Amino acid sequence: MTKPTLTRWQSREIPTPALMRERVTDPQKYYANMPNFSARGVKIGGAFPVGVPPNQPLYAGQRRDVIWNRTTLSTRGFTTTDGIRFRIPEDGVYHVTFNAAVWGNTVRAVGENLNAYITADGANGLGASGDIGHTTFQHQHAGSYTTIRVSITEYFTKGTSIRSQVYLDSGATGRWGIASSQFDADFNAFMLSPSAGGWRQAAVKPPNLTPWKDNAAVSVSDMNRQTFDTFAHLENRPRFTARGTSFNVSAGQEKVALPWSSMYANDSGFTLRRLADGYADRTAITVPYSGMYLVNFFCSAQHTSGVDTASYGFQFKIHGNSGSARILAQNTTTRINQDCSVALEDLIYLGAGEPLNVRFYGWGTGTRWVSGKSDGRINTLGAVYMGG
C-alpha cells in the first residue's frame, strides 16, 4: 500500500464516505502495517565433514555478503533478486538489525576477530550509503559459536538496497561459517516513519488526543487534531542520533561517562549537555517527551595494557523520575590493541526532561582502556520516540 497523502479538514466540508476513507481509513491501514522484511536462516553451501555444522562458509581475510534462505523470507514492500540485497520501497526512517552466530573449529590463543556490517547502497547518490553499522567481536573458543550483532536506525531513500556482511580475521585457520538455522541468523528491517522530507525534516510533536463526547459539536480543529495531527506525527517521529566518542580509562578507574562529539535531532527538545557537575561536557541527552523510546547503541573499546583477557561493559543510566533504571551490555576481549564491540537495542521508558547517558566500565588488573578506532559510525547512540 502506497503512503497516503495527508490533507486537512476544512470549514463547511462534508465528511463524505470518500473523504473518510482518504483521511481516516487509508492512513489507519497504512500506519498499522508499514513496509518491513524478515530474513531468517542463511543459504548453506558445500558438504560438511563430521563435526562441522551446516553453514554458509567464511574465509580468512574476506568480507562476505550474507546470502539468506529465500524460502524463509517474509516481506512487505521490500524486494530482493539475489537473497543478499533488500530494496527500500519508500523514503523513510527504518530500524535495521542483523545477527549471525559464527562457528569456527580452530582459534588462536588470542582469539579471532569477527566483524559484522550493515551496508547501504544508496539510490541515485541520495540517502545513506556505505557502512551504516559496524561491530567487531572476538571469537575465543574453538568448536563453539560467537553471535555477532549490529543494529541501526537510519533514513533511507526509495531504491536504496541494504545488505549484511561478515569479515573473518585474516589470520584465522581451519573451517568457519555462519550457522544456517533461522534461529542463529536473521536480518530484519521495519519502517518507523515514512518521512518524505529527508533526515532533517522537523518532527511533528505528539498529538493531544481527547475522548469524543456525546452531544458535543465536532469542530474542524477537533477533526484535525484526532486525524491529521495524529498521522502527521507518525509520519515523522521525534528522534536523535549521536556519533563519535572517545575515552581513556586508567587502571583502577571504575567508569567514565561517554561524551558525544556530534548529535543530530529533528526535535529541538533533544539537547546534548553535561550530565552533572564533575562530568565532561556532552555526556547526556535530554529527551523532550514522556514515553517509550527505541534506543540503539554500538560502541568499540580496546585495552592497551594488562592481561590478554579482560572484560568491559557499557551501562545506560537514566536519571530523574524513572529512578535508577539501567541497561547493561558486557563483553570480553582477548587481544590487546584490538577493537571489540557491544551492540544493543531496547525499548525503555523515559520521562520528559530526563537525561540519557552511557558509561563505560573496564575491569582487569593493570588494564588501561581506550575507545576503539572508528570511521565515525562504529560509535553511535540513537533513540526514536515510539509513543506515550
Q: Read off the CATH number of the domain in which 245 is found.
A: 2.60.120.40
> Could you tell me if 176 and 71 lie in one domain?
yes
Inter-residue contact 279 to 270 (CB < 8 Å): no
The confidence score (pLDDT) of residue 125 equals: 66
From 241, 351, 259, select the one nearest 297 (Cα to Cα).
Answer: 241
Instruction: Write down which residue in 177, 193, 209 finishes a domain.
Output: 193
172-197 per-position pLDDT tens digit: 999 999 999 888 999 999 999 998 77
> Could you tell me if 288 and 383 lie in one domain?
yes
User: Bridge-partner residues for 99, per DSSP?
Assistant: 149, 186
> Could you tell me if 64 and 138 lie in one domain?
yes
Q: If DSSP codes are grouped into helix, strand and coil, which group holds residue 22?
A: helix
The confidence score (pLDDT) of residue 277 equals: 85
Residue 205: inside a domain, yes or no?
no
Residue 138: inside a domain, yes or no?
yes
The confidence score (pLDDT) of residue 177 equals: 95
Instruction: Write down which residue in 163, 193, 223 finishes a domain.
Output: 193
Q: Are strands 239-245 and 380-387 parallel, antiparallel or unpaired?
A: antiparallel
Total number of domains in the chain: 2
Q: Are strands 112-121 and 161-168 parallel, antiparallel or unpaired?
A: antiparallel
Instruction: Write down which residue in 193, 224, 254 finishes a domain.
Output: 193
The confidence score (pLDDT) of residue 127 equals: 72
From 137, 173, 149, 186, select the one nearest 59 (Cα to Cα).
Answer: 173
> Could you tell me if 321 and 174 lie in one domain?
no
The confidence score (pLDDT) of residue 42 equals: 95
Which run of H or E residues covers position 95?
strand 92-104
Residue 259: inside a domain, yes or no?
yes
From 192, 204, 210, 184, select the one nearest 153 (Cα to Cα).
Answer: 192
> Looking at 246-379, which runs of residues are DSSP E strands?
248-249, 255-257, 260-265, 271-273, 284-286, 291-303, 310-318, 326-333, 340-350, 355-362, 369-371
Per this entry, what is the length of the chain?
388
Residue 165: inside a domain, yes or no?
yes
Which run of H or E residues covers position 97?
strand 92-104
> Could you tell me if 272 and 186 lie in one domain?
no
> Could you tell me if 302 and 178 lie in one domain?
no
Residue 226: inside a domain, yes or no?
no
> Could you tell me if 77 and 171 lie in one domain?
yes
The confidence score (pLDDT) of residue 303 equals: 86
> Could you tell me if 78 and 169 lie in one domain?
yes
Cell of 262: 556530534
Residue 27: inside a domain, yes or no?
no
> Could you tell me if 183 and 291 lie in one domain?
no
Alpha-carbon distance of 194 to 297, in angstroms, equals 22
Alpha-carbon distance of 165 to 113, in angstroms, equals 14
Range of the domain at 297: 240-387
Residue 330: inside a domain, yes or no?
yes
From 285, 351, 287, select the one nearest 323 (Cα to Cα).
Answer: 351
The confidence score (pLDDT) of residue 323 equals: 54
Residue 53: inside a domain, yes or no?
yes
Inter-residue contact 269 to 287 (CB < 8 Å): yes
> Could you tell me if 162 and 253 lie in one domain?
no
Query: Residue 172 burial (CB < 10 Å; 0-12/13-18/19+)?
Result: buried
Low-confidence ranges of the chain (pLDDT < 50): 319-322
